[in-house]
A and B are shown apart, each in its own frame.
Chain A
Amino acid sequence: MTSTHSHLSPEGISELSKIVGQAYCRTGRLDLELYSYDSSPFIHFPEVLVLPGTVEEVAAITALCHRRHWPLTARGAGTSLSGGAVSYLGGVAMSLTRLDRILEIDPIEETVLVEAGVVNLALQNVLARQGFMFPPDPASQKASTIGGNIAENAGGIKGVKYGITKHHVLGLELILDDGSTVKTGALAQGLDAVGPDLTGIFMASEGTLAMVVRALLKITPLPNSFRTVSAVFDDLERSGKAVSAIIAAGIIPTALEIMDHRLIVALEDYLHLGFPTDAEAMLLIELDGLGPELDGQYERILTLCREAGAVSLAQAATPEERDKIWLARRSGNGAMGRIKQGCIVQDVTVPVVKLPSMLSLVQKVAKKYDVIIVQMAHAGDGNLHPHLLYDLKNEEEYKRCLKASAEIFREALAAGGAITGEHGIGLEKVEFMNDQFNEAELDFMGAVKRAMDPDGIFNPGKLLPERWQTWSTKSDSSHSSDGLETL
C-alpha cells in the first residue's frame, strides 16, 4: 500500500497561513534556506515553513498535510546528526521551537509535563531550582529539544548510570496522521498504566509515526555529592581497558567518557582548562551519590586506572572545575570546526568488553583510508563517537570518509553492536538498516509504519529503507542544491 505525494499549491499555502498566521507561515527563500539543514551534512529544502505556537495548530497542520498528501517533517532545534530534521522530500517543515512551555512540575510524583519544543538545558535549569534533574543529557542539551530527544532516543553523558531518554518518558500526547489527538502511558491512565507500552514505539521513531507534542517525564532528585576524576593515558586502547575493568568490578559511575589526543588539543584550545595536550587519551570519570559511599568507589577506581596503565590521575577540586570539564566534553562536536570543517559523526555501540579493541580498530581504519578520525566515547555503555573529518572542498577526502564510515559500521555489527546508540538512523544510516536487521524485523517495522502513517506524510525518507516506506515516488519538488553540503 503506497501513496504519492503532491506539491504545495498557493491555495494550500494560504490554508496553512490561516492556521498559524502569516508571520509563522513562510515561503521566503531565506526562510527555506535556513531551514534546509541540521547539524548533519544533509541539506534539503522544504517548500514551506510553519512555526505553530499551540498544540491545536500542530493538529490542524497535520490534518491538512494528510488531506493534501504533503510530506511533513517536524524539527526542534535542528541539531540532528544523522539528517533527521531535514525535509528530504520537500513539503512542509514544521518547527516546534515555539512550543516551549514547561506545564507542570510535580515534586511528589517526581514528574514534569512539557511541550515538545522545551530545550533540554532550559528544563534542567528550572528543575535544578527545585532539586531535580532530567537525567538524559545529550551533548547538544544547550540547544536540543525534548521532542528531538524523544525522536532520537538521545542518551548522553549520564547514560551509563541513569539510562537514556526512553527510560524517563512516562507518557506522550500525540497528533496522529489524521490530526486527531491521543495520549499514551501515564498521560492516558495515570502512573499505574496498564496494557502494552505504546509510549515505547515512539522512542527513536524520528518523527515517522506521529507528532509528539507533549511529554510526561520522570524526574530524579539531584545527587548531593560528586567525585570527578580525569585519568591520562599514553595509549587509547588502554583507556578502554580501564573502562572495561571499572564496569567488570561492578562499579557504575555516572559518566565514563573517553577523549582522544586530537579532541583534548581542540578543547584545550577552546577552554584553556589545562588539559594535557600531549596525552594520547583521557578518561573522565564521575561518581555521584552520598559522600561516604563514594569514597570507597573512588579509591577503587583510582587503583583500576593505575592498573590499566594511567600515567596520571587528577580530581576536580571545585564545582566550577567540574562544570568546565563537562562543558568541554559536551563541546566536542562543535570544536571539530577547529580542525576541519566537514564532519561525519558516528555513534556505533559495542558491548563494553569489546570497547578497547574497537577503539584501536577505528584508529586502524583511519590509517587505512588516510583520514582524520577524532574519537570520543560514552565509554561506560560502549557508545563510540568517531568524528570523521574532511575538507569541505575536497570531495575525494569526503569519499574516503564515507568508505571508512562504512567499515566502522560493519566492524561494530560484527562485534555484536549497533550502528547507532543515540543519533538516529536519519538519512545517513538508512542503507545499513539491512545489515542491522533481518527481513522479518524490517517487515514488522514497516507494518507499524503502515498502520500509523499509511500515506507516508511523516518525515518520509528517514529511518526505513525505501522498500518499507509508505510513499511510492520521490516528488520532483526538491531544490536544485539539495543533497550534501557543498563539496
Chain B
Amino acid sequence: MNDYNEISRCNRCGFCQSVCPTYLATRDETQVARGRIFLTRMLLEGRYDFTKDEDVLEKVNDCLLCQACVVNCPATVRTDDIMLAARRDFMEARGLSLFQKLVYRGVLSHRERLDRTSFLMRLYEKSGARNILYGKTLRRALDRLVYFDSFLPSGLNKPARTRLNEKMPAVNQPKMKVVYFLGCASNVFTSETVWSAVAFLNKLDVEVLIPKVSCCGEPHHTGGDEGEARRLAKKNVPLIFGVEADFIVTDCSTCASALRHYDKILGDCAEAAIAKPKLSKVIDLATLVTEHLKPSSIDLKPLDIKTVTYHDPCHGIRGLGVKAAPREILKSIPGLELKEMEGADSCCGGAGSYCFTHPTMSGLISTGKVNNIAATKAEAVVTSCPACSLQLGAGLRRAGLDTQVAHPVALLAKSAGLKV
C-alpha cells in the first residue's frame, strides 16, 4: 500500500459519521471511515502488522466499500480504494480466506459450477427442506440458518442462461446492437429480469448478443484477490469488447460499474488496450432505455401495483452516477406512483457477499433500510442490482412483509405486455 498521502489527507473532521452505514447502525467509531483510515495509517506507520494482526484485518473487512464517505468527504479521501489496497496487502501477506477460496475462486470463477449451485438451491426449496427450517421449534435454535435461508427467493427460476442463446432471435433490420453482459447473480437469482430485459430490447428492434462470459471479477477485486480478478477480466475482454456493438449493457449495476472501470483491474496488458477505448460504451440497462431507446412508441398499460419506491445501488448511484434513469422509467408507467424513501441512496448492507460474511452488521443495516421502505407503504421496491434485490428480499421476508422486489426494466416490460 503506498497511499500514505491519500490517507493523511483525512484530517479527522468526522463528517463521514453522517453517511457511513456501519457507523449509523452502531454509533461506534471503530465502524466509520475516519476510524478505518486512522487504522490503515497506523498500519503504514508500522504500529500494526499485515502478516499477523487479525483484529486490524477484521476492521478493514467491515467496510462495505459503498463510497458514501468518499462523495461526502470534504477532502475526498478515497476510503474505498484505501480499504482495497489494505485487503490486497493482507491477502499478499497471508493468502486467501476460506470463504474466498470456496465461494469466489471455487464457484464464482467457474460458470458451470455456479449453475449447479442454482440447481441445489432449487432442490433445497422444492424438497421441503426449507419448510422444516421454518418450523417453530427448530427456528429459534437455527437463527443463523434462518438468516441465510431468508436470502433464497421462493420459486427460484432456472438460471437465465438456460433459456437464452448466445445470439437471440434475429431482429429484422436491427436499430442497434448490444452485448448483454449476463452477470453471475442475475443469471442465478433474477432470471426473470434478464428474460424480460432481453424480450424488451428485442421488441424495440435491438439485436442482443449474450456471450458466455465469466464473472466480472468484482467480488475477487473487492476481496483483495487482484490476480484472479485480472485473470477473469482478461477472459471477458475479447468476448465483450472484442465484438462490434453499440453498447455493452447489463441489468446489474455492480457488473456495469466493474466493467466501466476495467482499466483499474486490467493494468497494463494487451486486453487493456482493447478495452480502454470502449469503456464508455458500458451502460446500465435503465440508462440505455431512457437515453438511447426512448420507448415512446410502446403502448404501456397500468400494472397490478400502484406504488413503488426506488433503492439506489451503491454501484449505480456512486459507481456510475445513475440517478434519474430508473426513476424516469417508473414514472413513465401509467398509474404508477414513485414514493421516495428516506436514504434511498444509502447502502442496503448487501454489498456483494458482505451479507454472508458479516451477518450481524448486514442485518442491522438491512433493518434500517426495510423500515425506510415500509414507511413509504409502497407495494414494491425497485432496484437495479441482483445483489441488492437479494438483500432487500431477505430483509423484507425476515420482517414478515410481502413487498415485491423488482428491476425497473422488468416492470417496464410487464407494462408493455411482455410475458416471460
Interface of A toward B, CB cutoff 8 Å: 28-31, 33-35, 37-39, 51, 77-79, 95, 97-98, 100, 117, 119, 121, 140, 142-144, 270, 331-338, 341-343, 392, 481, 486
Q: List 13 extra interface pairs beyond A37-B12, A336-B75, CB under 8 A.
A: A30-B39, A33-B42, A34-B39, A119-B17, A119-B18, A270-B74, A270-B76, A331-B74, A334-B13, A337-B8, A337-B9, A341-B9, A341-B10
Selected A-B contacts with CB under 8 Å, 14 pairs:
A30-B55, A33-B42, A34-B29, A77-B14, A77-B17, A95-B28, A100-B27, A143-B18, A270-B75, A331-B15, A335-B75, A337-B8, A341-B9, A341-B11
Within the complex, the shortest CB–CB distance from B42 to chain A, in Å, comes to 7
Query: Digit string of B275-291 for contact with A (CB within 8 Å is 1, else 0)?
Result: 00000000000000000
| Beta-carbon contact of B13 and A140 below 8 Å | yes
| Beta-carbon contact of A78 and B14 below 8 Å | yes
| Beta-carbon contact of B8 and A142 below 8 Å | no
| Beta-carbon contact of A28 and B55 below 8 Å | yes
Contacts of B42 in A (CB 8 A): 33
How many Å lie between the Cα of A138 and that of B42 in the bound state? 30
| Beta-carbon contact of B30 and A31 below 8 Å | yes
Q: Is B351 part of the contact surface with A, judged by Cβ < 8 Å? A: no
Query: Digit string of B66-101 for contact with A (CB within 8 Å is 1, else 0)?
Result: 000000011111000000000000000000000000
Q: Which residue of A lies closest to B74 (CB)?
A: A334
| Beta-carbon contact of B45 and A486 below 8 Å | yes
| Beta-carbon contact of B39 and A140 below 8 Å | no
Q: Is B295 part of the contact surface with A, judged by Cβ < 8 Å? A: no
Q: Is B122 part of the contact surface with A, judged by Cβ < 8 Å? A: no
Q: Is B215 part of the contact surface with A, judged by Cβ < 8 Å? A: no
Q: Which residue of A lies closest to B72 (CB)?
A: A142
Residue from A33, A270, A336 within 8 A of B39 (CB atoms): A33
Contacts of A335 in B (CB 8 A): 74-75
| Beta-carbon contact of A79 and B13 below 8 Å | yes
| Beta-carbon contact of B14 and A39 below 8 Å | yes
Within the complex, the shortest CB–CB distance from A487 to chain B, in Å, comes to 11
| Beta-carbon contact of B15 and A30 below 8 Å | no
Contacts of A77 in B (CB 8 A): 14, 17
Contacts of A35 in B (CB 8 A): 29
Q: Is B50 part of the contact surface with A, judged by Cβ < 8 Å? A: no
Decide: A341 near B14, CB < 8 A? Known: A34-B38, A34-B39, A51-B28. Answer: no
Q: Is B111 part of the contact surface with A, judged by Cβ < 8 Å? A: no
How many Å lie between the Cα of A49 and that of B14 in the bound state? 19
Interface size on B, residues (CB 8 A): 28
| Beta-carbon contact of B73 and A334 below 8 Å | yes
Contacts of A332 in B (CB 8 A): 74
Query: Digit string of B1-42 for contact with A (CB within 8 Å is 1, else 0)?
Result: 000000011111111011000000001111000010011001
Q: Is B380 part of the contact surface with A, judged by Cβ < 8 Å? A: no
How many Å lie between the Cα of A144 and that of B27 in the bound state? 12
How many Å lie between the Cα of A333 and that of B10 in the bound state? 11
Interface residues of B in 82-138 (CB under 8 A from A): none
Q: Which residue of A lies closest to B76 (CB)?
A: A270
Question: Among A119, A333, A343, A392, which residue has the most Cβ atoms of chain B within 10 A?
Answer: A333
Residue from A29, A51, A337 within 8 A of B11 (CB atoms): A337
Decide: A117 near B14, CB < 8 A? Known: A37-B38, A270-B74. Answer: no
| Beta-carbon contact of B12 and A34 below 8 Å | no
| Beta-carbon contact of A143 and B11 below 8 Å | no
Interface residues of B in 363-407 (CB under 8 A from A): none
Contacts of A39 in B (CB 8 A): 11-14
| Beta-carbon contact of A333 and B38 below 8 Å | no
Within the complex, the shortest CB–CB distance from B35 to chain A, in Å, comes to 4
| Beta-carbon contact of B11 and A343 below 8 Å | yes
| Beta-carbon contact of A142 and B27 below 8 Å | no
How many Å lie between the Cα of A37 and that of B11 in the bound state? 11
Within the complex, the shortest CB–CB distance from A328 to chain B, in Å, comes to 9
| Beta-carbon contact of A341 and B8 below 8 Å | yes
Q: Which residue of B lies closest to A117 (CB)?
A: B27
Contacts of B47 in A (CB 8 A): 481
Q: Which residue of B lies closest to A100 (CB)?
A: B27
Residue from B11, B13, B27, B74 within 8 A of A97 (CB atoms): B27
Q: Which residue of A lies closest to B342 (CB)?
A: A125
| Beta-carbon contact of B38 and A392 below 8 Å | no
How many Å lie between the Cα of A348 and that of B55 in the bound state? 42
How many Å lie between the Cα of A401 and that of B188 in the bound state? 60
Q: Which residue of B lies closest to A53 (CB)?
A: B27
| Beta-carbon contact of A334 and B15 below 8 Å | yes
Q: Which residue of B lies closest to A98 (CB)?
A: B27
Q: Which residue of B lies closest to A51 (CB)?
A: B28
Residue from B11, B14, B55 within 8 A of A336 (CB atoms): B11
Q: Which residue of A lies closest to B59 (CB)?
A: A30
Contacts of B28 in A (CB 8 A): 51, 95, 97
Q: Is B56 part of the contact surface with A, judged by Cβ < 8 Å? A: yes
Contacts of A142 in B (CB 8 A): 14-15, 17-18
Q: Which residue of A lies closest to B77 (CB)?
A: A337
Contacts of A34 in B (CB 8 A): 29-30, 35, 38-39
Within the complex, the shortest CB–CB distance from A264 to chain B, in Å, comes to 14
Q: Which residue of B lies closest to A31 (CB)?
A: B30
Decide: A79 near B14, CB < 8 A? Known: A30-B39, A51-B28, A100-B27. Answer: yes
The 9 closest A-B pairs by CB, nearest first: A334-B74, A337-B75, A334-B13, A331-B74, A97-B27, A337-B9, A142-B18, A341-B8, A143-B14
Within the complex, the shortest CB–CB distance from A80 to chain B, in Å, comes to 10
Within the complex, the shortest CB–CB distance from A274 to chain B, in Å, comes to 18
Within the complex, the shortest CB–CB distance from B384 to chain A, in Å, comes to 25
| Beta-carbon contact of B9 and A78 below 8 Å | no
Q: Which residue of B lies closest to A328 (CB)?
A: B74
Contacts of A481 in B (CB 8 A): 47
Contacts of B35 in A (CB 8 A): 34
Within the complex, the shortest CB–CB distance from B188 to chain A, in Å, comes to 36
Residue from B27, B30, B45, B74 within 8 A of A337 (CB atoms): B74
Contacts of A51 in B (CB 8 A): 27-28
